Amino acid sequence: MRIGVTVFPGSNCDRDALHAIERAGAEPVELWHADADLKGVDAVVVPGGFSYGDYLRPGAIARFAKVMAPLEEFANSGGPVLGVCNGFQVLTEAHLLSGALLRNSNMRFICDRVAVRVENVDTPWTSLFEPGHELTLPVAHNEGNYFADERTLAQLDDEGRVVLRYLENPNGSANDIAGICNEGRNVVGLMPHPERASDPLLGSGEGLKVFESVLQYVGTRA
Amino acid sequence: MKVRVLVRPKSGILDPQGEAVRRALPALGFEGVKTVHIGRLVEMEVESPEEVEGMCRRLLANPTVEEYEWEVVR
């Protein structure tokens, strides 16, 4: 089982993601932004950071990196893709996930640990959690304020596509949304960082389950 | 040909940056500022102005949350 991690100029959670994937028991594979293919991986993580310096808008430039074309194809054909933080922003910019991430309502960069609830366990990235499970994950973002129009928000709720919700909203996100998935449920975007909570040495290993979930998912499909 | 593109948050979209500036102005003695909205100005030299619309839609603005207008500058 091989899980890829895209690396853009300015990505800074790629190593953490690679480490988490290895701990979960898969082979981590770096996918350079200028690569034209996904090296045959079974799942892809778009990591956090400040790709291309967050110039223009977070994720706006990364979205057109060379590696994004095969990634979009992979996502559209049902391949499991996880975007974390800046990765979530990249996936909304690429229209693989709906909505957008705006500046935090308090105008501050938020670096904290927040309590979240798993709302949807029917995705490749959350399948090992119990529905409604509450856990604490690190957040570190300036643009984490999830926005979508009323119709889209209603659709996300009706279709059970909110994956994670904050117990206490840190950034002004609509409906306390911390993570969502696409219609096919194979593409997930999260503002909190499971990879930074994937080793007890880092304070918590709870986030590892996200990577173990995708391992099991791909394993049972193979 | 010089082109000037103005990108700003759609009306009704929370603009915390504008709000922070609005609250800062009275501290400098500028009273009576009711609203502040902050956008982005992009100046470009282009060969084909007919491509600007596509540039706005696909990259310079995010139509989910931003609106844009552009003009050729003489």
pLDDT number for residue B12: 84
Q: Which of A155, A88, A160 is nearest to A118 (CA)?
A: A160
pLDDT number for residue A222: 61
Token pair for residue A116?
A: 């979240």
Distance in angstroms (rounded) separating the CA atoms of residues A82 and B27: 44
A193 is catalytic: yes
Average per-residue pLDDT in chain A? 96
Domain encompassing residue A16: 2-221
Please check whether residue A109 is in contact with residue A141, taking contact to mean a CB–CB distance below 8 angstroms.
yes
Q: Is the pLDDT of residue B15 over 90?
A: no
Please check whether residue A207 is in contact with residue A137, taking contact to mean a CB–CB distance below 8 angstroms.
yes
Kindly list the structural domains of chain B, giving each domain's residue range(s) and its CATH number in brackets, ordered by start: 2-73 (3.30.1280.10)
Q: Provide the number of structural domains found in chain A.
A: 1
Q: How high is the ipTM of this complex?
A: 0.85
A150 is catalytic: no
Interval A87-115: pLDDT, tens = 999 999 999 999 999 999 998 999 999 99
Distance in angstroms (rounded) separating the CA atoms of residues A46 and A28: 13
Please check whether residue A200 is in contact with residue A208, taking contact to mean a CB–CB distance below 8 angstroms.
no
Put simply, whether B13 touches A (Cβ < 8 Å) is yes
Put simply, whether A104 touches B (Cβ < 8 Å) is yes
| CATH number of the domain residue A191 falls in | 3.40.50.880
**Percent of chain A clearing pLDDT 90 (strictly above):** 96
**Percent of chain B clearing pLDDT 70 (strictly above):** 100
* Helix (H) / strand (E) containing A69: helix A68-76
A119 is catalytic: no
Interval A165-211: pLDDT, tens = 999 999 999 999 999 999 999 999 999 999 999 999 988 999 999 99
Put simply, whether A143 touches B (Cβ < 8 Å) is no
Interval A68-93: pLDDT, tens = 999 999 999 999 999 999 999 999 99
Q: Is the pLDDT of residue A11 over 80?
A: yes
Q: How far is CA B1 from the centre of its chain?
A: 21
Alpha helices in B1-74 (DSSP H): 16-24, 52-55
